[in-house]
A and B are shown apart, each in its own frame.
Chain A
Amino acid sequence: MTDTAMAATALGKRFGRRGGWALRDCAFRLPAGRVCAVVGPNGAGKSTLLALAAGLLAPTEGGVTVLGTDPASARARVGYVAQDKPLYPQLTVAETLRVGADLNPDRWDAETAGRIVSAGELDPKKKIRSLSGGQRTRVALALALGKRPELLLLDEPMADLDPLARHELMGTLMARAAQYGTTIVMSSHVVAELEDSCDHLLLVGGGRIRLAGEIDDLLGAHARVSTAVSTTAGAAGPAPATGGAPGGPPDLAPHTVVESRVTGRQLTALVRPAGPLAEDWRASTPSLEELVLAYLRNPQAAPLTPAEPEEAAV
């Protein structure tokens, strides 16, 4: 047993010799027992990252370890559901579950797999090819969970599901995490979908890891501030230490600015504070969605990943 579920160092993947890098210079560590959101726009490299962790792709450079070993050696303990939910179309639901049992002889949890399928009121005699996208997702999740994985890699698991099934299956996943400490890694480009379920974040953008860490820590390391552009004399409270010259825009230094915008007389910004904030700034903790969007809108913003020393100061 290891306390690291997944770790990458200088991980990169290029498709074809002349192709662009789908993923490059990725370094992160995901502690075991976390529910991790892999978030980023389409084409950011989320699926590539998950396929590398599942051992379905080989890295072009660097490496990724899974459950303390290489992805191929960990395969029996890892459940992976790809975005297109690949299943054998000619098999029935019942036959698919039997395949799951045969392929995982010492691990198979028939009760769990059966319960997930029956919660969707699926006819076990129905062929996979006749199922809807959401029903296939259900069967794929039943297979992955029936394997009793220590690590679950789910690529856009909720995309095909109706709201009711989404809530129910997310509940099933969370119960799994609560009961067995299963590490779950889920990708999505809809942040709100994962906000309540995940405690860890990997934000992927442009093939790089932009943010990595515990969501509470990441939110706590940022502040959404707003302040008047022209500092009027005689404002309540002591004179701001870093408020900037009167009449000019306030100086955001020494804080790391992720995003800033001036609307009329108001300046709003998302910053990583590098010390106390000025007295006359209104500050609040950003929501996860605000944080993610700010980083995605501003590709030049400095990334925050545990590899950086800045993390230690938080």
Chain B
Amino acid sequence: MVEYRIDRHSGVATYVQIVQQTKQALRLGLLRPGDKLPTAREVVEATAINPNTVLKAYRELERDGLVEARRGVGTFVRRGLNTTPADSPLRAELDAWAARAREAALDRDDVAALFTAVLDEHFAVPDPNGRTGRTGRDDRADRHDRHVRHDMNPGDPS
């Protein structure tokens, strides 16, 4: 069972925090296939957040194929999130790249900025539509001097 911790000052939308913490629990093996997620009622009683926020997070996890809702029974984990094993070729390549970056006299922040920039190029930026997504988006826009356009149609239609 996971216990969600909501940080209202993180700038990350609350439902995104639930999604992220669930995925983190899957990665760490704290949640395994067949495990039951807490009910919306249990989550809101402990966190005092709106029930729809929990349902929205669970719907997103369901869309990703990670969990499934069984009517009247609860929401269950369908599959875990496998982290890339330590001996994978991808990791070895990244390792070699990091060594070269160090030789080129980049410091940790330079490397992180470079990596994040490339990451943003190849992967969708998470949470374009969170209620409190302001901080993340602003920071990102400032750091990379990119113009993030306002999403006219944010969020889940429901």
Taking Cβ atoms with an 8 Å cutoff, the residues of A that contact B are 35, 167, 170-175, 177-179, 192, 195-199, 215-216, 219-220, 223-225, 236-237, 273, 276-277, 279-288, 290
Contact with A along B126-140 (1 / 0, CB 8 A): 000111111001100
Q: Does B110 contact A (CB under 8 A)?
A: no
The answer to whether A196 and B41 have CB atoms under 8 Å apart is no
Query: 9 smallest A-B Cβ distances: which pairs?
Result: A283-B150, A174-B44, A178-B51, A170-B48, A175-B45, A223-B150, A178-B41, A171-B48, A220-B154
Q: How large is the interface on B (under 10, 10 to 19, 20 to 34, 35 or more residues)?
A: 35 or more
Q: How far is the CA of A197 from the CA of B49 in the complex (A)?
A: 4
Q: How far is the CA of A163 from the CA of B57 in the complex (A)?
A: 26
Residues on B with beta carbons closer than 8 Å to the beta carbon of A277 = 149-150
Report how many A-B pairs have Cβ atoms within 8 Å.
Answer: 108
Q: Does B98 contact A (CB under 8 A)?
A: no
Which of A216, A236, A273, A282 makes the CB contact (< 8 A) with B148? A282
Residues on B with beta carbons closer than 8 Å to the beta carbon of A199 = 50, 52-53
Which of A216, A224, A273 makes the CB contact (< 8 A) with B131? A216
Residues on A with beta carbons closer than 8 Å to the beta carbon of B153 = 220
Known A-B contacts A177-B44, A196-B14, A197-B48; the reply to A288 vs B131 at CB < 8 A is: yes
Residues on B with beta carbons closer than 8 Å to the beta carbon of A223 = 150
The DSSP consensus for interface residues of chain A is mixed
List the A residue with the shortest CB-CB distance to B138: A284
**Known pairs A178-B41, A196-B49, A236-B145. 14 more at Cβ < 8 A?**
A175-B44, A178-B44, A196-B47, A219-B131, A237-B147, A276-B149, A279-B147, A281-B150, A282-B138, A282-B141, A284-B141, A284-B148, A285-B150, A285-B151
Q: Does B69 contact A (CB under 8 A)?
A: no
The answer to whether A171 and B45 have CB atoms under 8 Å apart is yes
29 A-B contacts (beta carbon < 8 Å): A171-B47, A172-B45, A174-B45, A175-B45, A177-B50, A178-B41, A179-B41, A196-B6, A196-B8, A196-B48, A197-B48, A199-B53, A219-B131, A220-B129, A220-B151, A220-B153, A223-B150, A237-B147, A273-B150, A279-B147, A280-B147, A281-B147, A281-B150, A282-B141, A284-B138, A284-B150, A285-B131, A285-B134, A287-B134
The answer to whether B149 and A174 have CB atoms under 8 Å apart is no
List the A residue with the shortest CB-CB distance to B142: A282
Residues on A with beta carbons closer than 8 Å to the beta carbon of B54 = 178
Q: How far is the CA of A216 from the CA of B133 in the complex (A)?
A: 12
B window 104-134: CB within 8 A of A? 129-134
